[in-house]
Structure 1
Amino acid sequence: MAEFTTLARPYAKAAFIAARDASDLGGWSKALATAAAVSQVDRVKTVLSAPGLTAQQKADAFVALCGEELAEKQQNFIHVLADNRRLALLPEISVLFDLYKANQEKSLDVTVETAFEIDAATEKKLVEALSKKLDREVTLSTAVDKALLGGALIRAGDTVIDGSVRGRLAKLAEAMNV
């Protein structure tokens, strides 16, 4: 949801800056993922939305649930979110943080869907070509989708490269209906 993203962005950026300055991007990423998961538990949602609890009580309860997973600065971050009634944004904050982290590390997760399994040599060539084209370290995951008929569908962040037969047929059908 765009509104959640807009609200979460400054918090994600602040967390990212704190993590980068402390050279702890991985630790913060893990902590935010844990906090995001905890925030999605139904009973936790109920507690966080309870009108009778103060922000301090909600933050303390939340931090207690996360246990040892949160370092002191991360616990302080949870308190800031609670004070500003933004604990519900934790899943979006975590996603945005990971995007900032990937950009900082110049890495990118790429998904390649093909109609048939691809061998290790082809995977390696694909990683090299995508790394060069995208100027990022590429982590490749593959999936087989027989509906593609042939070719490949590549998803890298918000970039989609559709080189599948299905995609080409769809474009042809669209052109013929003009």
Structure 2
Amino acid sequence: MSLVGRKYSQALLEVAKEKGKTDEIYNQFKSIIEALDSNEKMWEILMLPSIEADEKKTIFENLFKGKIDGYLYSFLMISVDKNRVADLKNIFESFKDLYFVENNMVEATVVSAVALEEKDIKRLKEKLEKKYKKTVIIQSRIDQDIIGGLIVYVGDQIIDGSIRRKIAMIKNDLKEIRLQELGVN
């Protein structure tokens, strides 16, 4: 988490809490980042040093004025004035971290070889919430290279129940057996 991201996100969270709008501002800020991420050209334009602050403000005004909370809109305008548009993603990530701590939440990324059914996601969510004693927000991703099973990332922890890992473990065990037979180990 960058120092700039932390500083700006803390300020935004304080205002959001003060006004009783933390959920609303979090969801709107997330939508803004997702909208900008879905339009790569927009990010490129906003990052150009040749684009004046007034022009960047006009872009934000056209995209978001009247559609998002006034405090969040003002925050975007301040980020333009302070030349922090390039830091918006980092600021959002810091804000999300603080928001999750504030609301006793954690994000889990679940990687599977095939799409999981809703009942399986629900069951996994319940187990993770019991283990971490937090509300778990699950993001799913498909990676056919894991062959089968699941890999779950929660914070800096990894729960690897993939077939690929199990095959690697068996392969390693077989190497160990061979070495033992030769008296090397």
TM category (shorter chain) comes to: 0.7 to 0.9
1:20: which partner in 2?
Answer: 17
The gaps in structure 2 that reach 5 residues or longer are 180-185
Please point out which of 28, 44, 48 is paired with 1:31. 28
- Greater Rg by CA: 2
Please point out which of 82, 86, 89 is paired with 2:87. 89
Query: Structure 1, residues 95-153: CA drift from partner, whole Å, max 9, x if none?
Result: 32222222221122324345677777665553333212212112345566564455432
When the two chains are superposed, the root-mean-square deviation of aligned CA atoms in Å is 3.5
- Cα offset, 1:172, TM superposition: 4.9
Which ranges of 4 or more aligned residues in structure 1 deviate by more than 6 Å? 116-121
TM-score by length of 1: 0.72
CA contact (8 A) 2:64 2:73 kept: no
2:41: which partner in 1?
Answer: 42
CA contact (8 A) 2:8 2:91 kept: yes
Please point out which of 152, 157, 160 is paired with 1:154. 152
Q: Percent identity?
A: 21
User: Equivalents in 2 of 1:58, 1:120: separation in Å?
Assistant: 41
User: Equivalents in 1 of 2:142, 2:51: separation in Å?
Assistant: 51
2:57: which partner in 1?
Answer: 59
TM-score by length of 2: 0.70
Would the alpha carbon gap of residues 74 and 59 (structure 1) be closer, same or farther in structure 2, given more than 3 Å must change?
A: same
Please point out which of 130, 133, 139 is paired with 1:132. 130
Please point out which of 97, 119, 125 is paired with 1:99. 97
Matched positions, count: 174
User: Equivalents in 2 of 1:167, 1:65: separation in Å?
Assistant: 46
Would the alpha carbon gap of residues 167 and 70 (structure 1) be closer, same or farther in structure 2, given more than 3 Å must change?
A: same
What SS class does the counterpart of residue 33 from structure 1 fall into?
helix
